[in-house]
């Protein structure tokens, strides 16, 4: 099977970019023929303005995609990030050349210009039911700019009217929760076009054995939506030890808290090569996010090392973590509830904690290995190709 991956790389490399590169390696190792058509979101302001202006239909991206399809002749196209250098024009290019295309939905940009359904420290859900997201435009939900928010909303709306999104063979979503959000919105795509495929990571082979400490760990960006303020407040009046790894706008606040509370240690950025060892050494991973995460890799990384996860009962975390099985739930945004769950966890016996650890590892093995990912992805590709009305395609690997 010949696969063409299309992705607009972000100005700063992030988890989504790394996920795309990992998927390419996974497919190639399995014997698929894979090529990447990459677009790069510019770092210079003027170039970014130009690309954003052509978001409605980027002629250059359309022609570049047409040329690539004609030369490579893929059986299936897998689009990841179309915003904003690629633009929805790549979908129209695939349709023009009668090539099935699947789109992985990493966020909620098709439903709201905010992309993450979060604004100024709170969930922002008004756009889900509005025919046009006027509330988001009024508050400047995208980059605090009403003009840019309007333009992004307008482009998505126009392509909805042009039925561009209907030309996508399958929308790959990361969780049942994300699928439900789309189906409950006014996006207008039928349920049978959505398929669920969870993320995966290579096996770190660092989960077995004793040697866990009594401290808790947080790993992630130091931003409001990650629940940093909830995390700090929960630990502030306890004796539980917390190690914080990461960087971001709230770094100074974290440093100040660490100076005032001896049980909180700020460790700075954690090199990825040291991540799994630190996860394996801690008692549990804390994931206090207060927005609708797609499928956080940090949680999967924790599960892969057999690390129980204490997570907010929100979004994908509500299904990835089973309460009192492979981790614990606490009420999102509630530091008191988190503190109570810390106390509950610390009171468990070592035997109980080991059972949690084994179930965490089992969750990874069942849902998040590369093998599970490849099997599910192959099935999605075959379904999209065989169900495509304009081209029979092939399903040979």
More confident residue, 86 or 391: 86
- Confidence check: pLDDT of 127 > 90: yes
Beta-strand relationship, 194-196 and 216-219: unpaired
251-257: average pLDDT: 97
Identify whether the C-beta of residue 76 lies closer than 8 Å to the C-beta of residue 4.
yes
Beta-strand relationship, 118-119 and 122-123: antiparallel
User: Domain 216-367 belongs to what architecture?
Assistant: 3-Layer(aba) Sandwich (3.40)
355: enclosing H helix or E strand: helix 350-367
Kindly tell me the sign of the dihedral angle through the C-alpha atoms of 321, 323, 329, 331.
positive
Prediction pTM value: 0.91
Q: What is the CATH number of domain 2-200+370-386?
A: 3.40.50.2000
Topology alike, domains 2-200+370-386 and 216-367: yes
- Confidence check: pLDDT of 346 > 70: yes
Task: Tell me what pLDDT residue 393 has.
Answer: 46
Task: Tell me what pLDDT residue 211 has.
Answer: 76
Strand order in the sheet with 170-173: 33-40, 2-9, 76-79, 101-104, 170-173, 194-196
Kindly tell me the sign of the dihedral angle through the C-alpha atoms of 86, 89, 95, 98.
negative
Task: Tell me what pLDDT residue 390 has.
Answer: 64
pLDDT-derived band of residue 84, with 50, 70 and 90 as boundaries? confident
Task: Tell me what pLDDT residue 214 has.
Answer: 95
HSE toward the beta carbon, residue 190, CA cutoff 13 A: 5
Over residues 168-184, the pLDDT tens digits come to 999 999 999 999 999 99
Compute CA distances 312 → 232, 287, 330, whole Å: 14, 7, 5
Over residues 366-396, the pLDDT tens digits come to 999 999 999 999 999 999 999 988 654 444 4
Task: Tell me what pLDDT residue 391 has.
Answer: 55
Q: What are phi and psi of 38, to 5 degrees?
A: -105, 135
Identify whether the C-beta of residue 338 lies closer than 8 Å to the C-beta of residue 328.
no
Could you tell me the residue ranges of all domains in the chain? Answer: 2-200+370-386, 216-367
| Residues facing 243 on adjacent strands | 217, 265
């Amino acid at each position: 099977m010949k696969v063409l991956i299309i992705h607009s790389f972000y100005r700063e490399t992030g988890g989504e970019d790394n996920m795309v590169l990992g998927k390419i390696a996974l497919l190639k190792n399995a014997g698929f023929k894979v090529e990447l058509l990459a677009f790069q979101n510019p770092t210079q302001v003027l170039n970014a303005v130009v690309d954003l202006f052509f978001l409605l239909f980027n002629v250059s991206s359309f022609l570049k995609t047409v040329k690539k399809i004609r030369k490579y002749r893929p059986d299936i196209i897998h689009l990841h990030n179309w915003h904003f250098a690629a633009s929805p024009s790549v979908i129209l290019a695939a349709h023009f050349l009668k090539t099935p295309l699947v789109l992985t939905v990493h966020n909620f940009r098709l439903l709201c210009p905010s992309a993450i359904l979060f604004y100024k420290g709170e969930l922002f859900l008004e756009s889900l039911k509005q025919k046009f997201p006027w509330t988001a435009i009024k508050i400047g939900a995208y980059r605090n700019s009403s003009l840019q928010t309007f333009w992004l909303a307008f482009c998505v709306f126009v392509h909805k009217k042009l039925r561009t999104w209907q030309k996508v063979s399958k929308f790959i979503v990361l969780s049942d929760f994300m699928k439900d959000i789309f189906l409950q919105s006014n996006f207008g795509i039928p349920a049978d076009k959505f398929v669920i495929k969870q993320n995966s990571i290579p096996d770190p082979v660092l989960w077995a054995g004793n040697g866990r400490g009594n401290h808790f760990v947080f790993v992630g960006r130091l931003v409001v939506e990650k629940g940093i303020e909830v995390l700090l407040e929960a630990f502030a009046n306890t004796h539980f030890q917390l190690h914080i790894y990461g960087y971001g706008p709230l770094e100074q606040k974290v440093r100040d808290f660490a100076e005032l509370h001896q049980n909180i240690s700020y460790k700075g950025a954690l090199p990825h090569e040291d991540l799994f060892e630190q996860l394996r050494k801690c008692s549990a991973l804390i994931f206090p996010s207060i927005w609708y995460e797609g499928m956080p890799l940090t949680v999967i990384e924790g599960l892969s090392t057999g690390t129980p996860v204490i997570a907010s009962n929100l979004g994908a975390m509500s299904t990835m973590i089973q309460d009192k099985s492979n981790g614990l739930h606490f009420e999102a945004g509630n530091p008191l509830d988190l503190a109570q769950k810390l106390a509950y966890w610390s009171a468990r016996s070592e035997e109980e904690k080991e059972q949690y650890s084994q179930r965490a590892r089992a969750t990874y093995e069942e849902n998040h290995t590369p093998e599970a990912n490849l099997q599910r992805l192959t099935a999605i590709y075959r379904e999209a190709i065989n169900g495509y009305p304009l081209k029979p395609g092939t399903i040979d690997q």
